[in-house]
Amino acid sequence: MGKIDELIRQYCPDGVEYNHLSELAEICTGNHNTQDAVENGKYVFYVRSSEPLLLNEYDYDDVSIITAGDGVGVGKVFHVTSGKYALHQRAYRIHPLDDKTLNTKYVYYYFTNAFYDYIMMSKYEGSVASIRLPMLKEFEIPVPPLPVQEEIVRIMDTFTELETELETELETELELRHKQYEYYRDELLKFEGRDDVEWKPLKELVCAKITDGMHNLPVSIKTDGYAPMLSATNINNGVLDFETKKYVSEEVYHQENKRTNVGVGDVLLTIVATIGRVAVVSEPVHILLQRSVCVLHPDNAKILSEYMALCLETSVIQHYMNKNAHGAAQKGFYVNQVENLQIPVPKDINEQSKLVSIISKFRSLCLGISEDLPAEIKMRHQQYEYYRDKLLTYKRLGDKAV
């Protein structure tokens, strides 16, 4: 790796000394809770998530590394501080003791590379995964001479910037393709001035009562069983995801299924919290639904399932549902509102089929290519991690090989 190899040959040809973090840094936590945050606070308030909050008082004024002590961010949430900041009581501050021997940004990059795997092997399992102070103290860090650390920081800063720029470009491309598809779909489904198209409420287009899922969960829910219980979170990008930790027995399923009786061709619409996601059931399923999803059984003599789903996804319907949802903390679009939603229905069922075909093909053209973009982003990130790992792997002083 060019200059790095030269510096290692020059400064540490026999290997690098590894030190416990307790020998290199001051380690402590803050004394604030998340609810202490204020909307327009003066100082950054580091909590246990990747997004910091704000507070009107500060605890420290320095350059340090912050990592979460428990929760979903364990081993993964890192910040490099600069100046005054406040700290959560379950977030750890790691402050290098000697900046003449240890570059804080170097420690940050080493943490992002090695700390998660270390914590996963030694984390404390309570109600949530958490880090104890001794785990941090015992974490080992290789300490090459400062010129080596500084060159690594320079390379990693440059590489991180390039990766961020590339990901931004790819995500922008993905967003533009989605907008292109949505615009074309909306234009095809406007039907302005068409005498052969009628606007009808959904309750006139179904062959069974529109209903939402269960309002109260069965007592006997388990993490495995005969049928999964799905919610609004299981509907994304027109696809029904069966990933869940809520299952019921066959007996409970048959008791509760009378309410929704989901089958092939049914249209599922999310109506609580995340409003307006749509999916068409494409194969036989044994599922129960929570109240955040409602089921529409299209009368296929009047309307095609895929055509109904496209209409529900249009910008005008999505805007109407979200604008007219009720509630504050968790908004909901009621079943009777769904029943009265009006969508344009061509009288000729073949016209619906033609539109579904045209829009589906255009979706494939726009979004089919876009499906490769997330894979590209993932590949770039893997390249970044590989390069970072190579930069931060050293022969331990006294060992014969790396």
pLDDT higher than threshold 90 for residue 55? yes
CA distance 220 to 177: 44
Residue range 1-25: mean pLDDT, rounded: 80
User: Is the Cβ–Cβ distance between 27 and 92 less than 8 Å?
Assistant: yes
Specify the pLDDT at position 220: 83
Q: What is the value of pTM for the model shown? A: 0.63
pLDDT higher than threshold 70 for residue 402? no
CA distance 119 to 130: 9
- Torsion over CA of 308, 310, 316 and 318, rounded to 10 degrees? 90
Q: What is the mean pLDDT of the chain?
A: 87
Local confidence band at 287 (pLDDT 50, 70, 90 cut-offs): very high
Local confidence band at 155 (pLDDT 50, 70, 90 cut-offs): confident
Specify the pLDDT at position 365: 78
Which pLDDT tens digit goes with each residue over 319-338?
999 999 998 778 999 999 99
- Please spell the DSSP secondary structure of 17-71, one letter per residue: -EEEHHHHEEEEE--B-GGG--TT-SEEEE-SSSS-EEESS-SEEE--EEEESBS
CA distance 253 to 260: 11
pLDDT higher than threshold 70 for residue 33? yes
C-alpha distances out from residue 11 to 4, 94, 102, 141, Å: 10, 26, 15, 17
Please provide residue 355's backbone torsions phi and psi, each rounded to the nearest 5 degrees. -65, -40
User: Is the Cβ–Cβ distance between 253 and 227 less than 8 Å?
Assistant: yes
Specify the pLDDT at position 101: 85
pLDDT higher than threshold 90 for residue 391? no
Residue range 262-268: mean pLDDT, rounded: 94
User: Which tokens is 13 given?
Assistant: 């040809």
Specify the pLDDT at position 127: 45
Which pLDDT tens digit goes with each residue over 59-79?
999 999 999 888 777 887 789
Local confidence band at 368 (pLDDT 50, 70, 90 cut-offs): low
CA distance 252 to 250: 6
